[in-house]
Structure 1
Amino acid sequence: MTQYLIKRLFHAALILLGVTFITYLLLYLLPADPARQIAGRSATAETVANIREQLGLNLPFYEQYWRYLTQLLQGDMGRSWLQKTEVSTLISARLPASLQLMMAGIGVELVIGLTLGVVAALNRNSLIDRGLMIFSFVGVSSPHFVAAMLFLYLFAVHWSLFPIGGYGEWKHLILPAVTLGILGSGWYARMMRSSMIEVMHQDYIRTAKAKGLSRTRIIFRHLIPNAILPIVSMIAIDIGIFIGGMVVVESVFGWPGIGQLAWQAIQRVDIPIIVGVTLVSAVAIVLANLLADLVSPFIDPRIDLKKL
């Protein structure tokens, strides 16, 4: 286990290094001028040049990246160019809201997706199965902003069941979480259906039926526990998808998380915040995948971490 952890942490460090490099390179190649954004439209060329020099934007790419990497290794994620505040402070202030929304969204999509997947598998090739798979396909294909605007209009504006936006009460969480959860549930429904159908043809399921076990016991004791293993890995991948979706959903619903912070930074070309949010997101994805790998042997004892 220790050797496996050391190897995974080493790989994680390389991944995070690559993420910071690619993100910084893409932002460096942007045609937008951060110094102009900070100075304002009416600023003189001399003022813009001074700001560019103060921020080190006049330096070659490798020098800018090396300066950032050196600060990062010392625990300094830099300061926001526009808000004049430490990036770590801004992210830590908004991270709890994003984690709350992420956990609620994953909970919604697991409940909906796994339920639909099990029902579809148990009614394979029926009208129920086809209807649920069509619903899953629509959910997977729908853009986040379309669903967010639709739910906002129906449930907040038209029927006034939930607040239009905000943060603090459970009512504020419902619409953003359901928006993320319904769109993501399609993946889980399709994956759970496929996994259930595959497990149904295993020898131990035939043995359980031959022993006379009830259908309910076979489903909950043998089918679901063995079919759910791919879902664990999907949850880890889903964190990355959620972070991308939360940028849109948090902006639509006014949810004060890191997604909204990233969107504001993108509009203003505030590079330290953009890189900081990207790095935190990458760390979350890497840790989630590591946790999924560590949990998998407890779900399926046949998995040996030494062979991974």
Structure 2
Amino acid sequence: MGTYVLKRIITIVPIFLLATLLTFGMINLSPVDPAEAYFAAAHIQATDEMLEQKRHEFGLDQPLYIQYVNSLIKVGQFDFGISYVTNKPVWQEISARLPATIQLTIGSLLIAILVSVPIGFLAGIKKNSGMDHLSRFLSFIGASIPSFWLGYLLIFFFSVKLDLFPVEGIGTWKHLVLPSVTLAFPLIALYTRLLRASVLENLQEAYVLFARTRGVHETIIMGKHVLRIAISPMITGLGMNLGNLMTGAIIVEAVFSWPGFGRFFIEAVFNRDVPVIQGYVLLAAGIFLISNLLVDLIQMVIDPRISRRGRQYR
């Protein structure tokens, strides 16, 4: 199993290098001139001499392969350059805003898990029951309501009408409730249906029949065996959605004025802040790769069949 894990870790390197190459290529193929973008963000009318000097400072007058190698070295040092708008290192700006985004991500994941696991599991073992109809209703609503509209609805009812939670900002746990619920609602719809379908499928497996034949208590069969195996697709979905939550909570952060990195990225796009955009894309790629690696490791612990397949790589 250790060899399998090592190979999975090694595979991250070429994928991340491909991500850096694609990011570098898109930036160089885009019509945005970093030197012009720099002066535009600073509201400076640049002359041709100033543009040439800034391009030389950015290393844009060097061959592309040298620029790419230099960018790789800087990325390895967590150096994404200087923001055109704030004139601060991009990594410093990311580090200042990531805790808020991580806090929102963890809150939404906890809500999604605590709600979807019991509903999805009960809907699977009690097909066509009231809980099953509830899971279908949640799935329909979650797939139909846009996040920004749901966020404004929650603000209207729970902040404006009932005055239970703050409208915007960060600080106490109350500030976290509404944006977390908004971000978690689509995940609840997805995970509920995934778990329900997986439970129904596992109830038809031979190991359930064998356990019942041996006289194992139904609670043990459902809790120790069926749920443990059936939750595997949901964990895979969590790994995929962790990256989406970390880097894609832009709309929710904008609706609730949450000081995360998503809002900073939107501002960078409007200001053509190339270093921030590049840092955001590479950060997103790294988060996706690491979250999927963690999911693979968790899957090996939960599902012994995956561990056996992992040992075949030795």
**1:286 matched residue in structure 2:** 289
Of 172, 175, 185, which aligns to 1:172? Answer: 175
Secondary structure of the 1:302 match is helix
Aligned residues: 308
Tell me if the contact between 1:39 and 1:51 (Cα under 8 Å) persists in the aligned partners: no
Return the letter of the residue paired with 1:18.
L
Gaps of 5+ in 2: none
**1:43 matched residue in structure 2:** 45
Q: How much has 1:140 moved relative to structure 2?
A: 3.1
Alignment of 1:199 onto 2:223? no
Alignment of 1:235 onto 2:231? no
Alpha-carbon distance between aligned partners in 2 of 1:307 and 1:164, rounded to the nearest angstrom = 53
Return the letter of the residue paired with 2:11.
H
Of 294, 298, 302, which aligns to 1:295? Answer: 298
Alignment of 1:186 onto 2:159? no
Alignment of 1:30 onto 2:30? yes
Return the letter of the residue paired with 1:102.
T
Deviations 1:14-38 (A, max 9, x none): 1111112222322333344544443
After alignment, is 215-224 or 5-14 more displaced? 215-224
Alpha-carbon distance between aligned partners in 2 of 1:33 and 1:150, rounded to the nearest angstrom = 41
Tell me if the contact between 2:168 and 2:256 (Cα under 8 Å) persists in the aligned partners: yes
Alpha-carbon distance between aligned partners in 2 of 1:141 and 1:244, rounded to the nearest angstrom = 22
Identity among equivalent positions (%) equals: 34
Q: How much has 1:132 moved relative to structure 2?
A: 2.0
Alpha-carbon distance between aligned partners in 1 of 2:183 and 2:124, rounded to the nearest angstrom = 24
**1:262 matched residue in structure 2:** 265
Q: How much has 1:145 moved relative to structure 2?
A: 2.2
Alignment of 1:146 onto 2:152? no
Within 5 Å, give how 1:78-93 maps onto structure 2.
78-93=81-96
**2:116 matched residue in structure 1:** 113
Q: How much has 1:237 moved relative to structure 2?
A: 0.8
TM-score, normalised by the number of residues in structure 2 = 0.87
Secondary structure of the 2:127 match is coil
Alpha-carbon distance between aligned partners in 2 of 1:91 and 1:166, rounded to the nearest angstrom = 18
Return the letter of the residue paired with 2:289.
V
TM-score, normalised by the number of residues in structure 1 = 0.88
How much is the aligned-residue C-alpha RMSD, in angstroms?
Answer: 2.5
Return the letter of the residue paired with 1:119.
L
Return the letter of the residue paired with 2:286.
V
Alpha-carbon spacing, 1:56–1:231, altered in 2? closer, same or farther (3 Å): same
Alpha-carbon spacing, 1:48–1:150, altered in 2? closer, same or farther (3 Å): farther
Return the letter of the residue paired with 2:278.
V
Tell me if the contact between 2:139 and 2:190 (Cα under 8 Å) persists in the aligned partners: yes
Q: How much has 1:146 moved relative to structure 2?
A: 2.5
